[in-house]
Amino acid sequence: MSAGPVAVLITGMGSTTAISVAKALRQQMELPVRLIGTDIHQGWEIAGSTFCDRFHQVPTADDPEYLSTVLGICEQEEIRVLFPIIDAELEVVARGEPRFRERGVLPWIARPETVAACNDKYRTYEFLERNGFPTPRTWLPEQLAGQQDHPGFPLIVKPVDGVSSRDVFYVENELELSAALRKVRSPVVQEYLRGIEYTVDVVTDQESRVLAVVPRERMQVKAGLSYKARTVRQPRLTELAGEIARRLEMRGHCNIQCRIDGEQIRFFEINPRFSGTLPLTVAAGVNSPLILLKLALGIPLERDYFDFEPGVFMARYWEEAFSRPV
Ligand SMILES: Nc1ncnc2c1ncn2[C@@H]1O[C@H](COP(=O)(O)OP(=O)(O)O)[C@@H](O)[C@H]1O
Ligand SMILES: [Mg+2]
């Protein structure tokens, strides 16, 4: 293994989440890193490639060549640590984990069964329900048809494998419900949750021990991304989110979404990956990409790497990147 900076591969560099991971590793001065990025677009098309030392275009995750292409990049670039970002890639990387490890690469990803349960909103509901975690009642359309006691309105209709808040419909009556069910491919129907929305970042090690938990209030959301948010101290939420991560045997960074209405916390989504709002977690003192890099390299971490500061407020703005494709 060559000395010098640690080579890290971040996938999906076109996404806010991948850029957030790259920024977190660029702003720390403790560990020199060489950032390699991938995306399904060409480098010049995406702002994220400007954060990378080198960039590679890859096929989509459902392409049979995807895994071998990423494995090839790992060999070529002498990658030590892989951070998969895009939901569609997570399961493929999780199933390919032994092949990465054979090549000396540590992919920070949960087991394939965990990833599959998180990528399917009905299975997520079943997991939460079965394990006694508070969650909104959720139905598949066929279950709703035979339902004696009607769930009542309002309801949410969303794709079972949805991402980025796409095709999420709020429905108030039968007419709107059937229209939404026609629009959404593979829908789930869920009780509508009132209250304030939170995302909880949870960092776990390879043995799924919980190292850090950072709850954030989502104060303004546009197109599935937090534009304004702040870190909060919320002991009950912290305890429950940590327990969910442990039960799912998470490895690395995951984020857990919920709404709190008065005293009532209800979880509705679990993502076994970094969040798009990672910069706030980092600003509040928990640089999880650095933590995971150090863990992967066997570098000891002091306790204060895991403590966060509550009350840190984030307001976002746009930034441009320019390129001159030939
Ligand atoms: N049951 C619900 N009650 C209220 N709002 C919801 C509910 N489900 C989803 N939402 C809203 O829609 C957004 C996207 O839903 P989510 O389940 O997180 O799917 P995605 O994978 O698209 O992020 C959430 O952040 C939340 O604001
Ligand atoms: Mg979500």
Mean pLDDT of the residues in the chain: 96
Ligand 1 pocket member 165 (CB < 6 A): yes
Question: Given a cut of 70, is residue 81 above it in pLDDT?
Answer: yes
pLDDT of amino acid 148? 67
pLDDT of amino acid 223? 87
Domain ranges for the chain, please list them.
6-108, 137-191, 194-315
Name the residue with the closest Cα to ligand 1, atom 27. 197
Q: Which residue has the higher pLDDT, 138 or 326?
A: 138
CATH numeric code, 6-108:
3.40.50.20
> In whole angstroms, what is the distance from residue 251 CA to residue 206 CA?
5
Residues 278/288, Cβ–Cβ less than 8 Å: yes
Bridge partners (DSSP) listed for residue 187: 159
Ligand 1 pocket member 213 (CB < 6 A): no
The predicted model scores a pTM of 0.97
Name the residue with the closest Cα to ligand 1, atom 18. 269
Name the residue with the closest Cα to ligand 1, atom 21. 163
pLDDT in tens, 14-30: 999 999 999 999 999 99
Ligand 1 pocket member 27 (CB < 6 A): no
Question: Given a cut of 60, is residue 1 above it in pLDDT?
Answer: no
Topology of the domain comprising 194-315: D-amino Acid Aminotransferase; Chain A, domain 1 (3.30.470)
Residue range 309-316: average pLDDT? 98
Ranges of beta strands (E only) in the chain are 6-10, 33-39, 54-57, 81-83, 106-107, 138-139, 155-159, 169-171, 187-191, 196-204, 210-222, 225-231, 252-261, 264-271, 313-315
pLDDT level of residue 149 (50, 70, 90 thresholds): low
pLDDT of amino acid 145? 79
CATH numeric code, 137-191:
3.30.1490.20
pLDDT of amino acid 307? 98
Q: Is cis: bond before 154, omega within 30 of 0? A: yes
pLDDT in tens, 101-135: 999 999 999 999 999 999 999 999 999 999 999 99
The ligand placed nearest to the CA atom of residue 195 is 1
In ligand 1, the atom with minimum distance to the C-alpha of 165 is 22
Q: Which of 137, 156, 218, 254 to mutate to test the pocket of ligand 1 (most atoms within 8 A of CB)?
A: 156
pLDDT in tens, 230-271: 999 999 999 999 999 999 999 999 999 999 999 999 999 999
137-191 and 194-315: same fold? no
Centre of ligand 1 to C-alpha 4, Å, is 43
In ligand 1, the atom with minimum distance to the C-alpha of 138 is 1
Centre of ligand 2 to C-alpha 4, Å, is 38
Residues 281/308, Cβ–Cβ less than 8 Å: yes
State the pairing for strand pair 196-204/252-261. Answer: antiparallel
